[in-house]
Structure 1
Amino acid sequence: MTESESPIQSSAETETLSPSVAYADYKDRTKKAQTPLGRFSARMEFELDDFQLEACAQLQDGKDVLVTAPTGAGKTLIAEFAVELARDEGKRVFYTTPIKALSNQKFNDLMDVHGVENVGLLTGDTSIRRDAPIIVMTTEVLRNMLYNDVAGLSDLGFVVLDEVHYLADRFRGPVWEEVIIHLPDRVQMVSLSATVSNVEEFGAWLSEVRGPTTVVSTSHRPVPLVNHVLVGHRMYDLFTHHDSDRIDPALNHATRTHGGPRSKRERATRARFRRPSRTQVVSSLAEAGMLPAIMFIFSRNACDEAVEQYLSSGFDLNSREEKVIVNAALEKLRDELASEDLGILGFHSFREGLLLGVAAHHAGMIPQFKQLVEELFSQGIIKVVFATETLALGINMPARTVVLEKLVKFNGEAHVSITPGEYTQLTGRAGRRGIDQIGHAVVIWHPSFEVNEIAGLASNRSYALNSAFGPTYNMTANLLSRMSSAEAAKVLETSFAQFQADKAVVGLAKKVRKNEATIAAYEKSMKCDLGDFAEYARLRQAISDTEKQETRTKSKNRQREIVESLTALKIGDVVTLPTKRVEGAAVIIAPMSSRDGGSRLPTVLTEQGKVWHLRPHEVTAPLPAQGRVRVPKKFNHRQAGDRRQLLGILNDAIHEGKVDHEAHWESKPGSPGVSSSVTEMTAQLRAHPCHDCPDREMHARWANRAAKLVKENDSLIARIEGRTTSIALVFERVQDVLRTLGFDPEQSDMLRRIYGERDLLVALTIRAGLWDNLVEPELAAFASCFVFQSRRADTLHSERAPSRDLKVNGDEAVTMWRKLFQLEEQHALSTTQEPDRGLFKPMYRWTEGKNLADSLRGTDIAAGDFVRWAKQSLDLLGQVAEVAEPETAVRIRRTIEAIRRGVVADS
């Protein structure tokens, strides 16, 4: 404790108080200084914020706490105090995190404070000092312990749930709720969350299911955030300085000048507008003194490309002294990696980027690379990191500036706009506490979005936390092993999902009653003296719906034919493009490919000698091959000589009549024509008595309004029914599936120990003996198909199994999946994903002992992805070994040892 923080007041302070009051105040301050919180505060190099003091005081009084605060506000300090309390009381503490990378970081942080011997780590495939008083673990590990090792929790005093807002995650969120529901009441719980708008609702549920829980919430950022927009090469503030919600007029004027679609000339300007290059953005940030920065780019390939672009620019952000530090760190890393793997890992480009002060950070990189990037960035040696959004998930890696290249990302199914919550999470990295006066968030503007969109994201600083909870097969098996079905249903009814559903039903029912009254009024207004206008309106709507459906079907068929025609094109095929921008023939120089979840259309060399990357809106009709020419080996479209040579070959083919300009795409038979039902319904409509009503269109307007509200009400009623019964219904259906497959409670011991999105399918394959006849490389490959998820859907069946037994067993697993899939559809359950054999060959080769380059040869799997999937395969193999036949378990454990080597072990 410093002198200024002493419990004894200065003479200047005591002179203003009476002796009795001063003495009482002195005793109170002395008493507080001798508490755990007082001692903890005294060791801090800074004064604790009010929200930190309040949360720690509640913990000291024996209560659970829920803390919501912006990224970087200092939530983890409260978790550190919980660790101190546990140590003082001689109890154990579990620190849970949602991702392994964050677990590793917390593991190292806590060892630095409490000593190596006092801290353990459990992450499914990793177990270090599992009996230590402080254990860092993923939330899944704690969930598993609550089901299988309750006796081992007898001395547990505290549990920290870091990033608890993860319970909204569609796939992994239910684990958080399972932990909260099943954790013994005697254990104090510290829940740490990003800022959410319904924190009181979440806190009320925690109090109901856990007991008294104090909600401590703050929206204050220790380092204030200033939002900017980069338009071209000029930086503008998003909001005016005196009004944090009013868009800066200068920014509005700049974006109108660049992109406003008010006239033909301005539209042309908009079409020509280009974002500044990534290198130019870095240069602008450097000039403005806004480095170090994280630039979020929602594509792994684009992150790597950004580093390559920077390498070719000639810019250098590092001093000679910083390069010495980088080289030393790289030499240490190089010694840890196999020399033959350096090429496939991209070590040399990685090295060049670090020396210049830039790096990528994404899931496709091996953990060792990412960890070094994090360390060097935190030291200020790396000045710019090009990252995907996974960097925003809890990793302690603050920057002065965060840049968002776009406001749209690919979510695995479609390109969608980022949400205010995601914007808050990403920009939360901006501003280093104790270093920066302010943090900066920069959006790179483009005419494809409005400034108001950015303002909406920046001004909405929180988001609602909604439960993703639902009973899984594993959860159901574990519950039924300990209690009856009725008792288990009551446990599930304590979930946050049910809590939110029950609360929401009141508002939904009120809306239904209001709509019903309005519908009755509309029906009265549409009444027709000539006949039943409701019947007439339904006929009109049926015609409209049928015509729209036919139009959509035709459009889909046309689009499918376009994609099929593009997919069929190969290098050397000659086509005529259906676009005004490119005239004449063109030759394919790069075929259609798939990258980052989307398709990349073919690249062509036109008759005019231009290289053209086709865009979706430019291909409006199927593109048949009209001939074929020979493309020279080692053709490089960036070389003018190569382009001229291929252009000569193309022109010769055209003049020799080898290109058929009349060729056309043959549509497949079976495309629907105009439905006769539309003609029939139109005849019925015209014959209806209401058709001749002079007030027909006025009645129709009321009918349309009524129909719209009826549709809305049907949806609301379905939501009410679904909400009030969803958990119980799903639980019943899950039990039905388990009973149908012979997994009664007394026969479900195996299923209780298998965790994952394909838990029941894995249990089915174990019961069928599919693991028993496989040798080590086959076991590794077989395990991978239950955890692996291809980034491209077309690789599910593309991998040929490297052995006969593996092929047979893989096919049998798919057969089992089909039966399970059908059963799940019959019971209206979420369906299990098909086993994905895209990792068969790499896992087989790696377990045989081949190096990383040989293991990944012929695939498009990134090294970092392979390491991640290998670790998940190890996790599953460990589970299967616990329930498999003894001889199989021995082979599985040998398989685990064979996989855990090189980059997989070092990570």
Structure 2
Amino acid sequence: MKYAIATALRDKQRVIYTTPIKALSNQKYREFFEAFPERTSITWKQGASMMREVGWVVFDEIHYMRDPERGVVWEETLVLLPDSVRYVFLSATIPNARQFAEWIAHLHHQPCHVVASDCRPVPLRHYLYPVGSEGLFLVLDEGKYLEDNFTRAMRSYTSDETEKRRMQTNKRSENNVVQIVRLLKHRSLEPIIVFSFSKKECEIYALQIAKFDFTTEAEKKVVDEVFRNAIDGLSPEDRALPQVESVLPLLRRGVGIHHGGLLPLLKETVEILFGENLIKCLFATETFAMGLNMPARTVLFTSARKFDGQTYRWITSGEYIQMSGRAGRRGKDDSGTVILMVDETMNGDAAKQIMMGPPPPLNSAFHITNNMLLNLLRVEEINPEYMMERSFCQFQNYASLPSMYQELNELRSAHAAVQVEDEESVESYHQIRLCLDDLVAQQWQYIRRPQYIVPFLQPGRLIKVSTETHNYGWGAVINLKKRMRTDRSSAPESFYLIDCLLNSVPTKSESTDETSDAAELKTGLAEVIPIRLDCVIGISAVRLVVPKDLRAREARAGVLNAIEKVKARMGGLLPPLDPVDDMHITDAKFIEINGKVKAFEERLDHHWLHDDPRLSDLLAQYAKKEQLRKRIDQLTENLGSKVSLIQMEELTARKRVLRRLNFVSEHDVIELKGCVACEITSADELLLTELLFDGVFNRLPPEHTAALLSCFVFEERASDMPKLTKELSDALRTLQDTARRIARISNECRLKVDEDSYVDSFKPHMMDVVYSWTRGASFAQICSMTDLFEGTIIRTLRMLEELLRQMANAARTIGNATLEAKFNEAIEKLKRDIVFAASLYL
């Protein structure tokens, strides 16, 4: 990047540096301004003449191109930039960098070199901390995975001693984060970044840690001076805001908070203090790891799961790499420390995937938007098809074609080579068996319900266990524990853990027949393994007497040998518990399913192939042929979609919508409404243009106009609806009615839009706040009107100011000077005090 800047300055050219994160842009601006004070600008004048002076464009954190919202803008930019421009792309998490470079070379007819290094200047050591345990478990040491340590960590989590310690911790009201930070402070492993996936949790943890003092008196004086200078430009009323007053005591003790709900001024103050090593323990959400050059000695994850807007899931390897990469300071630390707290059982595959898995590939997030379509229709030289054909998405489609054709030919040859005797009969037998398997799966959904299965999970009960990846065969129940887990899982069986004595060297789950279990028991190692209820696939009527003390290997092996002997006496088949007669499941739906199971079992028994000695071989051959046929069908369908231009159906549908709404003519010539919509880039251009042409804003004063437009820029989740005046309620109803009309037209034009979801995407939760703010209320007053974070309010108001500017431009386009003046007046009422305080970096 430095070479690109030096080359451009030498040749009297301009360099554009762009990032997807405002905080990173501000930080880099400060760095560039200090190096080139007379040549660095954070603003840019639009125009073709300015673009002719651009020699280089630097894209930092280019992996954000996979982001559905931000990525598509970068992809459009890369397609439309002239071939004369040179590029620098920066990222730490792109495994398919060569493919991306090939696209750039193909797109702009210039070489694109991949410069990569696997060497990390400061090696990392990764630890697991099972909640409630006494210590840390080193599981990944400079790239070497220590499986034995992981097993010990999971065993520690499920032990009775750990459970007692968790209960004692809860009684003391001291959470596990406090304990581990105390340990890290004792070992002098600060500065520490504690990543939490909740803004509220960040603040709660920081307040609990505030009892520790990380700073010296001299450092406290520097913190006071930096903080005083940071808030110097605020009014006395803004300085008295609760968030401003509450953060200083934490900062003086070396504790910081960084998340999107914080006032931007305070966030930047925290960043500056952390960069100067005056904050020793920082509680942050994952956005802190996105590009900001703020390394620490230790990184602590408070959970291995996060809520992604839909479900609670394991964090991905890419997320883990991005955050854990903040550990280890070059030139200061010999190694960095990463600690992952786990508050639930975790299988080894999940841990390996998080810690050692490759980052997700850079796949295109390109999709057609109305704004893109209208802007392309406005330019004569370029059409939407041109953009789609040159997109990275289309390039990735084309790049996979040769290998797909080769695979298809190989599959067809393999399919033709498989011959199955009596294929029709084998197919009928296979279909009956598939139906039976489906019914048995439905059966087990009932059987595994705690009210039915738990009473039978006594010590010594023989159960058959299979996980997502392995079949453990038969084992003996040792203990049953009810766990009140904190992972928000909704599955009722997840609250139970069965300590089961099993063979710890399982076979693959495909081998689920009885005969495979004997081999497993002979070659494996007897271990007590915690399993979930949903891993039980068989429960026997047999119970064994198991020793109370199973610490000795011989005792555990003796139980497995006893299971083998019981199986041998019973001809290899253990008698199952009958779900109706033994377990007393009387649910009417279950009885119906149970009856169907027996009927299909009878059909299988009477099928003429059932006792045929060739049956296993015939079924295996048929399954192989079916698998090949399905793969051929799937590959053929995929090839058809890849050969054609992607998203053509959506493009056609969007054009129909624009014609129906009179944004473009029948011949795709842009109309006045389309030109107006092109001015709006930060919100829904179709709906705003419709409201503009319907005269909705003509009837509203500036305060009501700003309040209504807040529905387009507020993005947070909120539950309580605000109390609105009649004027605001009427304006909101008009917005929602217009949105429903657009959704109905879209569906009529075969562009699938969920009407309710579309209407609900315009959130009125900030309307009363914006209305009060534009009428002169103080920031403290509007904060008291809502439970939203202060930072969220400021971010919404700043986005609203940008939208109002675009609406003023739109009004100018239609020649409505009165409406343009109204939008500008709303901006004047909006833009004041702490909401628009200047960045500390600028």
| TM-score, normalised with respect to structure 1 | 0.68
Contact 1:258/1:270 (8 A) holds in 2: no
Give the match's secondary structure for 1:444: strand
Contact 1:344/1:863 (8 A) holds in 2: no
Return 5+ residue gaps in structure 1 as ranges: 1-77, 123-129, 132-144, 559-578, 581-610, 621-671
Shift of 1:524: 3.1
Which among 96, 114, 121 is matched to residue 42 of structure 2?
A: 121
Q: Match for 1:413: what amino acid?
A: Q
Q: Match for 2:54: what amino acid?
A: L
Which among 110, 120, 136 is matched to residue 235 of structure 1?
A: 136
Q: Match for 1:164: what amino acid?
A: I
Give the match's secondary structure for 2:712: coil
Partner of 1:742: 662
Shift of 1:220: 2.3
What is the alpha-carbon distance in structure 1 between the residues aligned to residue 93 and residue 107 of structure 2? 22
Contact 1:177/1:496 (8 A) holds in 2: yes
What is the alpha-carbon distance in structure 2 between the residues aligned to residue 614 and residue 719 of structure 1? 37
Partner of 2:819: 888
Contact 1:239/1:245 (8 A) holds in 2: yes
Contact 2:440/2:597 (8 A) holds in 1: no
Contact 2:197/2:286 (8 A) holds in 1: yes
Partner of 2:10: 88
Shift of 1:259: 3.2
The correspondence of residues 624-639 of structure 1 with structure 2, limited to 5 A, is none
Which among 395, 411, 425 is matched to residue 322 of structure 2?
A: 425
Give the match's secondary structure for 1:441: strand
The correspondence of residues 570-719 of structure 1 with structure 2, limited to 5 A, is 691=607, 694=610, 714-719=633-638
In 2 relative to 1, CA 260–683 (structure 1 residues): closer, same or farther, beyond 3 Å?
A: closer
RMSD between aligned residues: 4.0
For structure 1, which segment, 744-753 or 336-345, has the greater mean C-alpha deviation from structure 2 after superposition? 336-345
Partner of 1:904: 835
What is the alpha-carbon distance in structure 2 between the residues aligned to residue 612 and residue 534 of structure 1? 45
Query: Are 1:759 and 2:759 matched, yes or no?
Result: no
Partner of 1:205: 103
Q: Match for 2:363: what amino acid?
A: N
Partner of 1:331: 228
Query: Are 1:369 and 2:266 matched, yes or no?
Result: yes
Which among 724, 730, 742 is matched to residue 801 of structure 1?
A: 724
Shift of 1:299: 0.8
In 2 relative to 1, CA 771–755 (structure 1 residues): closer, same or farther, beyond 3 Å?
A: same
Give the match's secondary structure for 2:64: helix
Contact 1:170/1:468 (8 A) holds in 2: yes
Contact 2:704/2:771 (8 A) holds in 1: yes
Query: Are 1:778 and 2:704 matched, yes or no?
Result: yes
What is the alpha-carbon distance in structure 2 between the residues aligned to residue 412 and residue 751 of structure 1? 30
In 2 relative to 1, CA 829–437 (structure 1 residues): closer, same or farther, beyond 3 Å?
A: farther
Partner of 1:852: 779
What is the alpha-carbon distance in structure 1 between the residues aligned to residue 675 and residue 374 of structure 2? 8
Partner of 1:866: 793
Query: Are 1:392 and 2:303 matched, yes or no?
Result: no
Shift of 1:445: 4.1
Shift of 1:95: 1.2
Shift of 1:109: 1.7
What is the alpha-carbon distance in structure 2 between the residues aligned to residue 451 and residue 540 of structure 1? 33
What is the alpha-carbon distance in structure 2 between the residues aligned to residue 380 and residue 461 of structure 1? 32
Which among 55, 62, 70 is matched to residue 172 of structure 1?
A: 70
In 2 relative to 1, CA 683–451 (structure 1 residues): closer, same or farther, beyond 3 Å?
A: closer
What is the alpha-carbon distance in structure 2 between the residues aligned to residue 473 and residue 100 of structure 1? 25
Give the match's secondary structure for 1:402: strand
Deviation per residue, 1:225-268 (Å, 9 max, x gap): 33233453433433357xx324174x34641541368xxx6997
- Quick one: percent identity of the two aligned structures? 27
Q: Match for 1:108: what amino acid?
A: R
Deviation per residue, 1:153-173 (Å, 9 max, x gap): 122222111111111012211
Which among 238, 243, 252 is matched to residue 355 of structure 1?
A: 252
Contact 1:259/1:269 (8 A) holds in 2: no
Q: Match for 1:286: what amino acid?
A: K
Shift of 1:491: 3.0
Q: Match for 1:120: what amino acid?
A: S
Shift of 1:316: 0.7
In 2 relative to 1, CA 714–443 (structure 1 residues): closer, same or farther, beyond 3 Å?
A: same
Query: Are 1:724 and 2:724 matched, yes or no?
Result: no
Which among 294, 304, 313 is matched to residue 203 of structure 2?
A: 304
Deviation per residue, 1:516-553 (Å, 9 max, x gap): 56666778356245xxx64676577578779989999x
Q: Match for 1:724: what amino acid?
A: V
Give the match's secondary structure for 1:336: coil
Partner of 1:827: 750
Contact 1:543/1:678 (8 A) holds in 2: no
Shift of 1:853: 2.7
For structure 1, which segment, 291-300 or 745-754, has the greater mean C-alpha deviation from structure 2 after superposition? 745-754
Contact 2:195/2:285 (8 A) holds in 1: yes
Contact 1:528/1:690 (8 A) holds in 2: no
| TM-score, normalised with respect to structure 2 | 0.73
In 2 relative to 1, CA 764–842 (structure 1 residues): closer, same or farther, beyond 3 Å?
A: same
Q: Match for 1:298: what amino acid?
A: F
Partner of 1:219: 118
Shift of 1:737: 2.2
Partner of 1:471: 368
For structure 1, which segment, 859-868 or 337-346, has the greater mean C-alpha deviation from structure 2 after superposition? 337-346
Which among 768, 771, 779 is matched to residue 841 of structure 1?
A: 768
Shift of 1:185: 1.4
Which among 171, 189, 194 is matched to residue 92 of structure 2?
A: 194
Give the match's secondary structure for 1:238: strand
Contact 2:439/2:597 (8 A) holds in 1: no
What is the alpha-carbon distance in structure 2 between the residues aligned to residue 549 and residue 819 of structure 1? 43
Partner of 1:258: 156
Query: Are 1:103 and 2:25 matched, yes or no?
Result: yes
Shift of 1:618: 10
Q: How many residues align?
A: 687
Give the match's secondary structure for 1:258: helix
Query: Are 1:378 and 2:299 matched, yes or no?
Result: no
The correspondence of residues 407-556 of structure 1 with structure 2, limited to 5 A, is 407-450=304-347, 453-460=350-357, 462-483=359-380, 487-512=383-408, 514=410, 524=420, 527-528=423-424, 534=427
In 2 relative to 1, CA 746–257 (structure 1 residues): closer, same or farther, beyond 3 Å?
A: closer
Shift of 1:749: 1.1
Shift of 1:710: 5.4
Contact 1:195/1:462 (8 A) holds in 2: yes
Contact 1:92/1:157 (8 A) holds in 2: yes
Return 5+ residue gaps in structure 2 as ranges: 456-483, 494-587
Shift of 1:746: 2.1
Q: Match for 1:285: what amino acid?
A: L
For structure 1, which segment, 740-749 or 704-713, has the greater mean C-alpha deviation from structure 2 after superposition? 704-713
Deviation per residue, 1:189-214 (Å, 9 max, x gap): 22212231111100000100022222
Partner of 1:318: 215
What is the alpha-carbon distance in structure 1 between the residues aligned to residue 700 and residue 194 of structure 2? 46
What is the alpha-carbon distance in structure 2 between the residues aligned to residue 339 and residue 719 of structure 1? 64
